[in-house]
Amino acid sequence: MWQNPINNSSLTLLNKNILRLAVPNIISNLSVPLLGAVDTALVGHLDHVYYLGALAVGSMIFNFIFWGFGFLRMGTTGLTAQEYGRRNRKEIMMTFTRVQAIALGIGFAILLLQKPIIELSLAIIESSDEVANYTRVYYDIRILTAPAVLSLYGIIGWFLGMQNAKYPMLITIVLNVLNIVLNITFIYGFGMHVDGVAYGTLISTYAALALAVFLILKQYNRYFSHFLFSDLLNSAKLKLYFAVNRDIFIRTLCLIFTFSFFTAVSAAYGDNILAANTILLQFWFIVSYGIDGFAYAAESLVGRFKGSGNHNKLKQAVFYSIGWGLFLGLAGTFTYLLIGSQLLHIFTNDPGVIEIAETVLFWTILAPFVSSFCYIFDGVFTGATETQPMRNTMVASTFLIFLPAYYAGSTMFGIHGLWLAMILFMITRGVALGLYLPGRILNKV
């Protein structure tokens, strides 16, 4: 039975609906950087700093591999939410099956190309021999997660489009808590290093996929009767899906390029700077994943209201989501201002790494607030499937702002120039999407 939990006459109920979707997303999202933080802390306290460098480089490679296909989640949420708003059960089911076919196909293709991927990656990334060697160890194990990771992207995106944030929360928490337990067991119980982190990720990812399949069969089995094999390759629907996801793919590649460039430059500065910047990026991710909870809520509701044609509720969902995102961003900035220096000691006991991190902590204090705009706007534009502005602003922010700012700033300010470029990149994304917002979302009927 279809439910309409939003009373169109009540902004209070809309706000509650945003929180109903956002809070589970925040909880599940925060478990992701928590995993990264635990891994960083575990490896950062091992005997050699190059283990942390290998984890950073290995994670960067997988960011390129997996984040590049983030459209499997983002595009699926917007399209599913719009079909949910139209109450089109058949197309809801077909959206799910199409994305799963695409996800598994890409996942197995990655496995076939695993050797050239690692060789090309290490040829591009300038790092020490020790970091490169242990990066290979980490990579060879974690690459086996590819089909499961991409399948989960599609499943979680579909759940969010169905206005269900509880199942993604459950899946993500199980995945990351199990991963943390396994990593601690492998490192402290069996004396492993980055290989233990990789095995923990491998086992927990497939366990999470099994849970996701169980939840689909338990809650949504009635939708399978609407599956039509003859409609799986519907040219009009596939064209729409790939048009939306082409833009998200380009947008995501630029985002990955920026963070990967940041990590590669950090590695070129030396293992200590790489380790310090890796820790500070965890600070960024912790707050960004929290704000993304409201971005995901915006995706679900904006897509739903666009599908149902309720433009007033769409606009209200946009403004409420922006307000909540800014509140969380300010909270993150004040938290890092007050205790940021103390938090560094949780991640490493290396005095050289801590000293470097403290010199550039200022940029991490600024990051939550200045980044909150672009995170929320991404959710709004994704839900409305207005993806061209996301693509255009990301390309401009990367190649017209980030790279020039880095090359100019690093010459004058050294490592501070790298962090300045990242802050300007985030500000530009938010401002540019804000300029698109009236014409492409708020005033478009």
pLDDT value at residue 384: 93
Q: Mind listing the pLDDT tens digit for each residue in 252-269?
A: 889 988 988 998 898 888
pLDDT value at residue 365: 94
pLDDT value at residue 47: 64
Q: How confident is the model at residue 32 (pLDDT cuts 50, 70, 90)?
A: low
Q: Which residues are within 8 A (CB) of 94 and not within 5 positions of it... i.e. 6 or more apart?
A: 226, 227, 228, 231, 232, 234, 237
pLDDT value at residue 330: 96
What mean pLDDT do residues 420-434 have? 96
pLDDT value at residue 3: 44
pLDDT greater than 50 at residue 4: no
pLDDT greater than 50 at residue 40: yes
Nearest to 378 by CA among 63, 159, 73, 155: 73
pLDDT greater than 60 at residue 286: yes
Average pLDDT, the chain: 87
pLDDT value at residue 226: 78
What mean pLDDT do residues 197-208 have? 92
Name which of 42-51, 148-157, 387-396, 400-409 the model is least confident about: 42-51
Per-residue H/E/C for the chain: CCCCCCCCCCHHHHHHHHHHHHHHHHHHHHHHHHHHHHHHHHHHCCCCHHHHHHHHHHHHHHHHHHHCCCHHHHHHHHHHHHHHHHCCHHHHHHHHHHHHHHHHHHHHHHHHCHHHHHHHHHHHCCCCHHHHHHHHHHHHHHHHHHHHHHHHHHHHHHHHHCCCCHHHHHHHHHHHHHHHHHHHHHHHHHCCCHHHHHHHHHHHHHHHHHHHHHHHHHHCHHHHHHCCHHHCCCHHHHHHHHHHHHHHHHHHHHHHHHHHHHHHHHHHHCHHHHHHHHHHHHHHHHHHHHHHHHHHHHHHHHHHHHHHCCHHHHHHHHHHHHHHHHHHHHHHHHHHHHHHHHHHHHHCCCHHHHHHHHHCHHHHHHHHHHHHHHHHHHHHHHHCCCCHHHHHHHHHHHHHHHHHHHHHHHHHHCHHHHHHHHHHHHHHHHHHHHHHHHHHHHCCC
Q: Mind listing the pLDDT tens digit for each residue in 98-136?
A: 999 999 999 999 999 999 999 998 888 777 778 888 888
pLDDT value at residue 34: 64
Q: Mind listing the pLDDT tens digit for each residue in 82-95?
A: 999 988 999 999 99
Q: Mind listing the pLDDT tens digit for each residue in 353-370?
A: 899 999 999 999 999 999
Higher confidence at residue 184 or residue 28? Answer: 184
